[in-house]
């Protein structure tokens, strides 16, 4: 995430953190992992804000629509104790995302950092001064593959899920798992659990 000092004085503590999430997986992660973490650091209101599109529970296909939703909420709620951020995957980023065609292609981390900065600038130009965007370098589900045995906790009926995932990804690091339509981490998890 970018540099919060551009809008947040060092003497001010963040008490509210609102996380724009692209889907239900990110929303669940925010509730189960991020919320307790940030509460322990002193934030008393930590909540995911799920992007919605007609006929779906979550997800996004247009940066313009997400931008409209985010700017509207930020302008209504922003103050010096509130931080807005995102939990969006770099994978399948909408093509109307700021700088999508101009950001560096590789290395991937440089692309993420450039796109985050462009999103921050875009929302700042709309008056959203308490925003610090975050793009997840790897598809969120790739993080689950870093500990295949932990997947068994989420799917207790499948005692062999960890071994099946380990065999499926072989020697690959989670971030190196193909992001194709049939081999993306989410597709592997769905197929094997």
Residue 13 banded pLDDT, cuts 50, 70, 90: confident
**Furthest CA-CA distance within the chain:** 51
pLDDT in tens, 16-74: 999 999 888 889 889 988 999 899 888 999 999 998 765 555 567 899 999 999 999 99
The rounded mean pLDDT for the chain is: 83
pLDDT in tens, 104-140: 877 788 889 999 999 999 999 999 989 999 998 877 6
Q: Is the pLDDT of residue 169 over 70?
A: yes
Domains of the chain (ranges, CATH numbers): 4-136 (3.40.50), 140-192 (no CATH)
- 45 or 2, higher pLDDT: 45
The pLDDT score that the predictor gives to residue 95 is: 92
The answer to whether 1 touches 134, Cβ cutoff 8 Å, is yes
Q: In 3-state terms, what secondary structure has residue 87?
A: strand
Q: How far are the Cα atoms of 15, 17, 33, 77 from residue 43, in angstroms, in the given order?
A: 4, 7, 14, 15
Tokens of 26: 């990110």
Q: How far are the Cα atoms of 27, 54, 141, 183 from residue 30, in angstroms, in the given order?
A: 5, 23, 14, 25
The answer to whether 7 touches 129, Cβ cutoff 8 Å, is yes
């Amino acid at each position: 995430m970018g540099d919060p000092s551009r809008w947040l004085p060092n003497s001010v503590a963040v008490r509210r953190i609102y996380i724009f999430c692209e889907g239900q997986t990110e929303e669940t992660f925010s509730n189960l992992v991020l919320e307790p973490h940030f509460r322990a650091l002193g934030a008393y209101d930590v909540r995911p804000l799920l992007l919605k599109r007609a006929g779906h529970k979550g997800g996004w296909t247009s940066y313009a629509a997400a931008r409209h939703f985010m700017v509207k909420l930020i302008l209504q709620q922003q103050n010096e104790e509130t931080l807005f951020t995102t939990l969006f995957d770099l994978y399948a980023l909408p093509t109307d995302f700021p700088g999508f065609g101009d950001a560096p292609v590789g290395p991937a981390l440089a692309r993420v950092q450039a796109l985050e900065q462009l999103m921050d600038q875009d929302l700042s130009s709309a008056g959203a001064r308490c925003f610090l965007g975050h793009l997840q370098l790897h598809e969120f589900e790739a993080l689950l593959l870093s500990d295949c045995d932990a997947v068994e906790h989420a799917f207790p009926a499948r005692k062999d899920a960890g071994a099946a995932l380990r065999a499926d990804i072989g020697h690959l690091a989670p971030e190196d798992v193909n992001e194709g339509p049939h081999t993306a981490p989410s597709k592997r998890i769905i197929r094997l659990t």
